[in-house]
Structure 1
Amino acid sequence: MTLDQFRSVADRLLGPWVSAADRLGLSPDQVSVLAFVAAVLAAVAFAVAEPAFYIGGALLVLLNGWLDLVDGALAREQNVASDGGDLLDHVLDRYADIAVIAGFTVGIGAYALGFLAVTGVLMTSYLGTQIQAVGIGRAYGGLLGRADRLALMGIVGVVAAAYPDPLVAEFGVVALLLVLFAVIGHLTALQRFLGAWRDL
C-alpha cells in the first residue's frame, strides 16, 4: 500500500466536509450510501466508454473514495461509531469495487479479464478479514490498497479519455488496469495467506 500512509494528511482536510455533512443532518451510514451511489454512477459512465464519460467516471470514483473517508470521520465527530456502521461501510466498499471494475469491463468488452480483476480485488479483501477472523489481526499488507486502486481508476479514466487507442500491443489503458488488478490482487491475496499461515 502506498497512499494509505498519507491517511493522516487526508484526515486533516476532511474538516469542512465533515462539518457540511453534519450541518445537513447526514448520518455516517447515509454518507456511506452516497459514496456507493457515486461508485455506481462511475461504473455506468465507464461502461459507456466515451471520453466525456470517462472523465465523469474518474471524478465520481474520486468522490467515492473521499466520501469513504468522510463517513468514518463523521462517525467519530458525532460519536456514533459502531460495529454496524463499520460492517455497512465494508460491504458497500466491496460492492463499489465490483461495480466500478464491472463498468470498466463492460466498456471494453473484456469479460474474462474483468473476472480475473474483480476476483483478485475481492480475494485481497477477503483474506484480510478472514485472517482477522482466525484471530491473527487484520491484514492490510500488499502492493495495492483500496486508496491506491481508486486513485488508479481515476487516473485511468482521464488517460482513457485522452488516449482511447491501444497503448501496448492491443491493450488500451483500461485493459492494462484490469491486468494490473488481476495480477497484483491475486499475488497480494497469496502473500497474505502465506504470511498468515506462517503465523498460525
Structure 2
Amino acid sequence: MLNSLARASVSRVTDPVGRAALRVGLNPDLVTVLGTVGVVVGALALLAPGYLFAGTMVVTAFVLFDLVDGAMARARGYGTDFGVVLDASCDRIADGALFGALAFYAFTSGQRVLGIAALICLVTGQVISYVKARADSVGLKIGGALAERAERNVLGLVGAGLAGLGVPYALDVCLWALAAAGLATVVQRLMQVKGAWDARIAADPASDPARTAVPPPVRPDSAGRRRRSDLRRSAR
C-alpha cells in the first residue's frame, strides 16, 4: 500500500543519491549489505536492550539504504539476478533482526503479551514475503497487499520510537495492529495466489494437471487376491 503510493515521490529524492553513490565508486550490492549490517547491529545493540528511540533512529537510517540500492541500479541502467536475490535475502535478515530485537526487549522487560505480538509480526512478515517469492517462482504474478515491507517497517519503527519518547502504549498499539494486518495479509496473499492459478486455468484449461494426469493402475490388495483364490478353490 505504502509502496504503491510513495514510490514515485521517493524516487525523486533517492535517484540523485543513487547517481552520486555510483560516482564515488559504490555498487548496489555493497550498499545492500552495508544497510543490512547496520540494521542488525542497531537492532541488537540498541533496540533489544531497551534504547528504543536511539535504536529507532539508527535502524531507520540503515533501512533507507534499501531505497538507495534500487536507485543505484536504476541509475546504472541495469540490475542483476544476483542482486535481486541478495536484496530479498538481506530484507528478510533485517526484518528478522528488527522484530526479533523488539520481541527480546518485550520478553526481557516482562511484557509477554507485547512479545507475542512482536513474534507474530516477525513470522507473518517472513511468510508474506515467502508466499510472494514462491508465487513468482512458479509464474503466478500477484499484486500489492495490505501489509508489505514498508508498512511493517513504518509501524514497527514508529511504535518503538514513540515508546522511546515515553508515549504510553505506542509500541503495543503499533505491534498489535501490525500483527492483525500481517495475519490478514497472509490470507490475502494466499487468496491472490489461488486467484492467479484459477485465472491461468481459465485461460488455458490444458495446463490443469488434474485434466492431464494419468491415474495409476488399480492393483488388487492381498485380501482381494486371497478371496478370489478361495472362490476358485471352492468352485473346483
Residues 99-131 of structure 1, C-alpha deviations (whole Å, 9 max, x = no match): 000111111114443322211111111111122
- 2:44 maps to 1:41: no
Q: Which residue of 1 aligns with 2:223?
A: none
What's the offset of the Cα at 1:134? 2.4
Instruction: List aligned pairs for 1:6-85, cutoff 5 A.
Output: 6-44=6-44, 45-49=46-50, 53-85=51-83
Return the letter of the residue paired with 1:98.
Answer: G
Contact 2:53/2:164 (8 A) holds in 1: yes
- Residue type at the aligned position of 2:130: Y
Select 1:107's aligned residue among 95, 101, 105.
Answer: 105
Question: Quick one: distance in 1 between partners of 2:123 and 2:15?
Answer: 35
Q: Does 1:120 align with 2:117?
A: no
Choose 27-36 or 185-194, whichever is displaced more. Answer: 185-194
Separation (CA, whole Å) in 2 of partners of 1:31 and 1:89 = 10
Helix, strand or coil: the match of 2:67? helix
SS in 2 for 1:14: helix
Supply the RMSD in Å over aligned alpha carbons.
1.9
Report % sequence identity: 28
Shift of 1:184: 1.4
Structure 2 Cα separation of the partners of residues 38 and 77 of structure 1: 24
Q: Deviations over 1:32-69 (max 9, x none)?
A: 011102211331211111xxx32222222322332101
Which structure: larger Rg? Answer: 2
Structure 2 residue aligned with 1:170: none
How many pairs does the alignment contain?
190
- Provide the rounded CA distance (Å) in 2 between the counterparts of 1:20 and 1:57: 27
Q: CA deviation at 1:195?
A: 2.4
Q: Please state how far the C-alpha of 1:158 moved relative to its aligned partner.
A: 2.1
Task: Tell me the TM-score normalised to structure 2 length.
Answer: 0.73
- 2:155–2:178 CA contact under 8 A, matched in 1: no
